[in-house]
Amino acid sequence: MHILLENVFKELGGRQILNSLSLEIPQGQTYCIIGRSGTGKSVTLKHLVGLLKADRGKILIDGINMVGFQDRQLRGLRKRMGYLFQSGALLNWMTVGENVALPLIEHERQLSRSEVLRRVREKLALVGLQDAEDKLPENLSGGMKKRAGLARAIIRDPELVLYDEPTSGLDPVMSSQIDEVIRDLQTELGVTSIVVTHDMASAYRVADRIGMLYEGQIIEEGTPDEIRSTTNPFVRQFIQGDTKGPLTAESSTDPFTGSKKTARVKDS
């Protein structure tokens, strides 16, 4: 799927969360959104599945503007998407296996039980949860819930997968394994992915491009190498995790250029 956001605005709780956000993701690429907590990364993802509706602006998916889609159109779109929620969002009264099977049971009735089971086991194995099939979510660690959520998100082999912090709460080894899953989905099935993350190591591993969200816009975008060697002080502070810098100061510098604020040079 080809994704294009054009000047998307969204106000929530009296705050302008997305402020003319523009973003393009070519078919089959993996795009990482980084940014501080509370900048609207999850909000951005929610716009793409129609859980939130943009106040203004366009969200084009394969060239079709999905802002203002009705329920029926949204259903058609969502069928082709997988969404890993930040908290996993498993239904707590169902076992992991039942949770992962849910989209198949609800939407692909023609499948036999054994076929459903086979696909569920396959995806669980992919995320390293083959032993947790019969466990209830309450008996899982945070990282396991997230992986189960990932298995559920990809059970119907979607064309676009939205990952909300797929590696937070995972140990480094498991993080690498999940990154590999994301990579494999891309190379083997041509999945387009958007990964929201704080974990720079993971971002460098999976991303084709990385964009930093700040005050409702992408202030800097580039390949992992470009981001690693960026001169933008906002991005530098973020990726190095410094406590001092423009992100934490009452800033009067321009986040696009890092220079003292003048009129905005770039309007993306």
Partner 1 sequence: MILLRPFEAIGSQILDTAFKAGYSLTLFLRSVACLGGIFEKRKSIASQLYICGVQSVGITLVVALFTGMILALQTGLVLQRYNIEGFLGTVILVTLCREMGPFMCAFILAGRVGSAMAAEIGTMNVSEEVDALRVMSIDPVRFLVMPRIISLVIFAPVLTVFTNFVGVLGGSIVANLQIGVEYSVYFGKIFEYLEDPKTTLEIFYGGLFKSAVFGCTIAVIGCSNGLRTSQGAVGVGKASRKAVVDSFLFILMLNYFMSSVINRFFY
Ligand X SMILES: Nc1ncnc2c1ncn2[C@@H]1O[C@H](COP(=O)(O)OP(=O)(O)OP(=O)(O)O)[C@@H](O)[C@H]1O
Footprint of ligand X (CB under 6 A): 12-13, 17, 35, 37-43, 86
Check: CB of residue 193 under 8 Å from CB of residue 31: yes
Q: How many whole angstroms separate alpha carbon 206 and alpha carbon 129?
A: 21
- Which of ligand X, partner 1, Mg ion, none binds 40 (CB below 5-8 Å, type-dependent)? ligand X
Least Å distance, CB 3 to ligand X, is 17
Check: CB of residue 176 under 8 Å from CB of residue 154: no
Q: Annotate each residue in 147-176 with x if it binds partner 1 (CB under 8 A) or - if it does not, as one string.
A: --x--x------------------------
In the complex with ligand X, which residue's Cβ is closer, 22 or 257?
Answer: 22
Least Å distance, CB 42 to ligand X, is 3
**Nearest Cα to 44, choosing from 150, 154, 164, 220?**
164
- Residue 5 neighbours by CB distance under 10 Å: 23
The pair of three-digit structure tokens given for residue 238, joined into one six-digit string = 């973020």
Pairing state between β 217-222 and 209-214: antiparallel
Least Å distance, CB 211 to partner 1, is 23
| Site residues (CB under 8 A) for partner 1, limited to 38-77 | 46, 49, 51, 74-75
Q: How many CA atoms lie within 13 A of 157 on its CB side?
A: 6
Distances (CA, A) of 256 to 60, 200, 234: 24, 20, 9
The pair of three-digit structure tokens given for residue 178, joined into one six-digit string = 């999940």
Check: CB of residue 163 under 8 Å from CB of residue 84: yes
In the complex with ligand X, which residue's Cβ is closer, 41 or 205?
Answer: 41
Tell me phi and psi for residue 29, to 5 degrees: -100, 160
H or E element, residue 22: strand 15-25
- Residue 167 neighbours by CB distance under 10 Å: 26
The pair of three-digit structure tokens given for residue 160, joined into one six-digit string = 């676009």
Least Å distance, CB 123 to partner 1, is 14
In the complex with partner 1, which residue's Cβ is closer, 73 or 248?
Answer: 73
Least Å distance, CB 107 to partner 1, is 7
Stretch that binds partner 1, among 87-95, 176-184, 196-204, 234-242 (CB under 8 A): 87-95
| Site residues (CB under 5 A) for Mg ion, limited to 48-107 | 86
Least Å distance, CB 265 to ligand X, is 26
Residue 44 in the binding site for Mg ion (CB under 5 A): no
- Which of ligand X, partner 1, Mg ion, none binds 75 (CB below 5-8 Å, type-dependent)? partner 1
Q: Which of 42, 192, 193, 197 binds Mg ion (CB under 5 A)?
A: 42
Note the residues at the interface with partner 1 (CB under 8 A). 46, 49, 51, 74-75, 78-79, 81, 83, 85-87, 89-93, 102-103, 106-107, 149, 152
